[in-house]
Chains A and B, each alone.
Chain A
Amino acid sequence: MTDRWREIARIGLRTLFYYLLVLAILLLWHSGGLFIYENF
């Protein structure tokens, strides 16, 4: 793997990591733990 591809992979993976981190924070922000998903 060339240095160029290694750098692209590094940027892509770090971006993915922080993107998922931000999504997880948004999703898990205090929401009250309500039973609203269940099918009833």
Chain B
Amino acid sequence: MSGSPFAAWYRRYYLLVNLPVLLIATELALSRLDPVNRSHGSNLDRAVERYRASPPGAAPVLLVVGNSVVRSGIDQDAVERGLASRGGWRVYNFGLNTARFDDEAWLLDDLARRGIAPRAILLGVNLYSIRDTPSDSRYPWHPRRSPYVFFHRAYLWGGITERLTQLIAPRPARPYAQFANAVLTPDELDAQARTFIGQFAHHGAADFPLLDQLPVLLRRAAERGIRVHAVLLPMNPIATGFAEYPALVAAIRDRLPAGSLDLTADGYSKDLFDDVGHLDEAGRRRLTARITDWLAREIGAP
């Protein structure tokens, strides 16, 4: 390097110059290329694809709304068959991974913008609906106000670890399947149950401000003339044995419309679950049948 005053200054402060330049270049490149939204469709994209592939025409539309437990735990085609004699409802599953009550309220707005106008929704809820952790950053109602790497960090980190895992121990790719759940080892299941209990045990309803988003969601639905049928979903008994679980469930139940279906004490054994919340195939059949029977009575004759 030359001996100019600038070179001497740069030699001393090069990190102050280089790092911002690199970080700004990273931000510009990533926000332009948008690899996160480009590489995989979100759950919402998949749900909209299913809707567009088989549009309802003039039939009344029932949307199944909730988090990933709803996505993989309620078979929309079976519900549709069960409601065939109740006015020819078309049923679409919009269960979205990681969705919380506020996401579900925004979802209704987003669907209205897409021209999807349900007459009713079946809302599936469990304790994950009030857990205050960020949901999928790809959902379009999350405005990005932070650097790309930070905003999409959960997804980017997941992608990096997935690729590294593939390098070390390649596994066959799993094509998208609505009803597929993560496959956990017994140790991973134990760890997930402990994490879940740690997030909810020794906490009261006041510790979960997302509970206040449930009335917002119900009001938003009412404003659009959408009838809400709500179901409290069962959870794996290995994770619900803590003292505060009934009180937290009651806090949700108290905010749901009268006559909602509570399946939290319906005797779902741990064999019916893939993890803490997601049901396996037998669990999905049982839950779907139970909900369909109840829904058919709720909706009544056309």
Residue B18 at the chain A interface, CB threshold 8 Å: yes
Which of B19, B134, B181 interacts with A18 by CB under 8 Å?
Answer: B19
On whether A39 and B175 interact (CB within 8 A), knowing A19-B23, A26-B147, A31-B134, the answer reads yes
Which of B149, B159, B160, B195 interacts with A26 by CB under 8 Å?
Answer: B149
Consensus secondary structure, chain B interface: helix
**Contact pattern, B 143-159, Cβ under 8 Å of A = 1, otherwise 0:** 00001011001111111
Chain B, Cβ-Cβ closest to A31: B154
Interface size class for chain B? 35 or more
Chain B residues numbered 199-251 whose CB sits less than 8 Å from any CB in chain A? none
Please indicate the chain B residues that have their CB under 8 angstroms from the CB of A7 in the complex: 1, 11
CB distance from B158 to the nearest CB of A (A): 3
Consensus secondary structure, chain A interface: helix
Q: Are B134's CB and A32's CB within 8 A?
A: yes
Q: Are B136's CB and A34's CB within 8 A?
A: yes
Q: Are B18's CB and A36's CB within 8 A?
A: no
Which of B18, B136, B177 interacts with A15 by CB under 8 Å?
Answer: B18
Separation of A24 and B97 alpha carbons in the complex (Å): 25
Interface centre among B1, B11, B181 (most CB of A within 10 A): B1
Please indicate the chain A residues that have their CB under 8 angstroms from the CB of B19 in the complex: 15, 18-19, 22
> Which A residues lie at the B interface, using CB under 8 A?
4, 7-8, 11, 14-15, 18-19, 22-23, 26-29, 31-40
Please give me the 6 A-B residue pairs with the lowest Cβ-Cβ distance, nearest first.
Answer: A37-B158, A32-B133, A31-B154, A15-B18, A40-B180, A26-B149
